[in-house]
Amino acid sequence: MRVVKVFVFAVLTCIFGLANAQNKVNIVPEPQEMQLGSGTWALGKKVKINVPKGQEGVQEIAEMLKESLETSAGLRVSIGEGSAKKGSISFQLRPSFAEEEYELVVEDGQAFLRAATAQGFFYAYQTLMQLFPAEVYSASKVSGLKLSLPEVEIKDHPRFGYRGIMLDVARHFMPVSFVKKYIDVLSKFKFNRLHWHLTDDQGWRIEIKKYPKLTEVGSIRKHSMVGHYSENRFDDKPYGGFYTQEEIKEVIAYAKERFVTIIPEIEMPGHNVAALASYPWLGCSGGPYEVRARWGVATDVLCPTEETFTFLENVLTEVMDLFPSEYIHIGGDECPKDSWKASQFCQDLMKKEGLKDEHELQSWFIKRIDKFITSKGRKMIGWDEILEGGISPNATIMSWRGVNGGIEAVKQNHDAIMTPNSHMYLDHYQGDRATEPLAIGGFLPLDRVYSYEPVPEGFTAEEAKHILGVQGNVWTEYILDGSHVEYMTFPRALAIAEIGWSNPKAKNYADFTARLKKEFKVLDELKVNYSSSHLHIDSEMKSEKTGSIRIDLKSSDPSLQIRYSTNGQDVTDQSALYDGKGLLLSKNTVLKAALFDAQGQAVGAKYEKALVVNKATGLHYSLRHPYTAHSGGSEYGLTNGIKGQQSVIGTWVGFPREDFEMSLDLEKETPVKEVKVSFLDEVKSWVLPPSEVEVAVSADGKNYNMVLLDGVENDPEHSRETAGIFDAVASFDNSAVRYIRVRAKNGGLLPKDHNGGAGKPSWLCVDEIEVF
């Protein structure tokens, strides 16, 4: 084999990306070492697969390969124990390899897969599949499909032993068929753990023979939330679902064939209202309780009585009988202490055990469970809250509230799995909220996921060993079905696959996204939904000082073309082509744009902005109290031409508590006949309109001509029920002025019936200031 060395060190990653693109080798996760040859092996109609004698599990993997080749391309494949020769694919044992390590070589018209274990061979097989065209994944025959492989030598092993995804089936239930499909797809990208979040306040999803009410009662909630939590709305349909123990076994066996270990999570002591509703004696107040319909954190939690521990031990015994996983997850997160504070039993228990507060009681609780799990030869995992009040001796920590939990755990000589909500929460938005399906919040675009490094800075090599790996979490409050789970998972999980497997020195986002193009075709073949929102259009506004603005559009991928419309019509492949020189807008415009690939196909996220152009557009101003960046405010966001949109909080410039005051300099004397200031009125999002607005204009910056406007309360056109956008409009006599001052009084405290915020200060959200 004539070998072209293309992958040596990190410095070569650019060249590597190029070589990749040219040679069409697209492997995710990127292998540790790869040398590309110059030739290819075009497979014939007949292929022989050679497997080593008596090696457990290898025959099954050879069968998988046979099925893929026969189904997609109609090859005739035989499996036997023959020796390697041209035209064959040979599995060869390498006993010295590590468990997940493999080698894959294509040369001289044949292929070799080498490993020590079935798992190693499975990964060699997955890499081999990725060397073929995407159609090899097709579930039916693809006419005219010719299979060929590039000459290549790959030596590969994972960086971390734990590469996981967490699926929450408590908030929304996912059927067995979907869970299997999900595991199958994840295993193709070399994930080896599925953390299955089986119980929570809103539903208990696993059959427990000893406690049948857990599923009879606890798996069904009366209704579910619709829209965002903050809207406090519900539908009127009971919601339920659970897995029988037989189904659980079926899923575990299916996952095992794909080398995915399922880690069950049984939450405690918080997130347990579904169990409380089933057996009210588990709670401190004795109930009655109802399976929770609202998202968020419940104050009712398990009471640490002997009866509760007996219950938990019985539940965990059944769970451990089902799940062979070494690790058992017991939750441990978000356990409010209200019911323990109010319970005489808990207070007495704390005295008896010498516990100084309820945090120590929680720690005592978890330690007891840890002891039980350890006594059964298993290991306990808990969310990072289990560090509070003293960590259990054998616990592994799942760090979710950022990375500090993980750091703290390692400093105390424990293992940690990194799943910080800053980078690994796949329930967060991955693109512009205005065009993405409703999500819990946050902003976690693909590049941010990809940028994550699981080993905290400053860790010694010894400490780094305690970082077992990474995990992406799919919480499903806002994810109703499998297709939506897939959309939130892919491609962000592919970035996680790479963080968990590949050499961090070879990280290269541009190369990763280039490889994604092929992976999207693979996902298409597998009928997996995914998002392409990482392809998007960014815009920047510039004032032209002539009552117009210039808007520059930029594609996240320079190889894509931007087409746009300014007449409100949807963008098609016939719309105007953006020439990269910026658009000059001199009147209010709805600007729509979209990205197109070389084939003229629309790809990625759509872009849409309502732009306002007036005498204030693009000008700088000063504020008396600062805006808060967290609400989406940006410097000069009040005059940037982009108006806040109803229900899209991030498009407003927000001011907590205080009144609002801004001064604008028009830079020269300008006739002004109207000033319009818009405010958001959305009490559910803690945003109230101002109680009073004052607009003043001045020619010299000293003497002001003032107009006082009533707040929304006295505006007959606007009522709280029709919440939306409140425009305050002040009229003037069109004489020339230079300075404009706007003051608005904060709307005060949130009303008594407010969900979560009663009596708390409200926000004032302003956008935009328009001058005519």
> What sign has the CA pseudo-torsion 175, 180, 181, 186?
positive
CB of 98 to ligand TNX, least distance (A): 32
Catalog residues that contact ligand TNX under the rule CB under 6 A.
333-334, 383, 400, 425, 427, 440, 475, 477
Nearer to ligand TNX, 104 or 167 (CB): 167
Q: Buried b / exposed e across 135-144, counting CB within 10 Å, b at 16+?
A: bbbbeeebee
Closest distance between ligand TNX and the C-beta of residue 385, in Å?
8
Rg of the Cα atoms in the chain:
30
Alpha carbons 718 and 275: distance in angstroms, whole number: 45
According to DSSP, the β-strands at 379-383 and 327-331 are: parallel
How near is the Cβ of 544 to ligand TNX at its closest, in Å? 43
Per the annotation, the verdict on 307 as an active-site residue is no
- Residue whose pair of structure tokens reads 């056109």 in the numeric block: 717
Q: Which is nearer to ligand TNX, 17 or 331 (CB)?
A: 331
Residue type at position 266: I
CB of 297 to ligand TNX, least distance (A): 7
Q: Nearest distance from residue 294's CB to ligand TNX, in Å?
A: 12
From the list 200, 265, 477, 608, the catalytic residue is: 200
**63 classed as catalytic:** no
Q: Which is nearer to ligand TNX, 257 or 333 (CB)?
A: 333
Instruction: Name the minimum Å distance from CB 267 to ligand TNX.
Output: 8
Of 59 and 421, the one with the shorter C-beta distance to ligand TNX is 421
Q: Report yes or no: 574 and 614 within 8 Å, Cβ to Cβ.
A: no
Q: Which residue number, 402 or 456, has a Cβ lying nearer to ligand TNX?
A: 402
b (16+ CB within 10 A) / e for 59-74: eebbeebbebbebbbe
Q: How far apart are CA 53 and CA 38, in angstroms?
A: 33
Of the CA atoms within 13 Å of residue 275, those in its CB half-sphere come to: 26
Q: CB-wise, 311 or 425, nearer to ligand TNX?
A: 425
**Single-letter code of the amino acid located at 517:** K
Question: HSE-up of 619 (CA within 13 Å, CB side)?
Answer: 24
Query: Using CA atoms, how far apart are residues 497 and 494, in angstroms rounded to an integer?
Result: 5
Question: Given CA atoms 421, 425, 430, 433 in this order, what sign does their dihedral have?
Answer: negative
The full DSSP string for 59-123 is HHHHHHHHHHHHHHH--EEEEES----TTEEEEEE-TTS-TT-EEEEEETTEEEEEESSHHHHHH
By C-beta, is 391 or 764 nearer to ligand TNX?
Answer: 391
Residue corresponding to tokens 């302003």? 766
Are the C-beta atoms of residues 667 and 619 closer than 8 Å to each other? yes
In angstroms, give the least distance from the CB of 339 to ligand TNX. 18
| 481 carries an active-site annotation | no
Q: CB of 121: closest distance to ligand TNX in angstroms? A: 35
Complex with ligand TNX: residue 400 or 564, whichever CB lies closer: 400
**Minimum CB separation from ligand TNX for residue 304, in Å?**
20
Which lies closer to ligand TNX via its Cβ, residue 334 or residue 447?
Answer: 334
Interior angle at CA 374, CA 359 and CA 372, nearest 5: 65
Nearer to ligand TNX, 448 or 745 (CB): 448
SS (H, E, C) 701-768: CCCCEEEEEECHHHCCCCCHHHCEEEEEEEECCCCEEEEEEEEEECCCECCCCCCCCCCCECEEEEEE
Rounded Cα distance, 429 and 416, in Å: 26
Min CB(396)–ligand TNX separation in Å: 14
Taking Cα atoms as reference points, which of 1, 37, 13, 9 lies closest to residue 508? 13
Helix, strand or coil, per DSSP, at residue 445: coil
Q: Please tell me the distance from the alpha carbon of residue 196 to that of residue 189, in angstroms, as a whole number.
A: 18
Out of 157, 172, 228, 271, which one is annotated catalytic? 271
> Long-range contact list for 317-321, CB < 8 A, 24+ apart?
317/376, 318/208, 318/209, 318/210, 318/245, 319/206, 319/208, 319/264, 319/266, 320/373, 320/376, 320/378
Active-site amino acid positions = 200, 271, 334
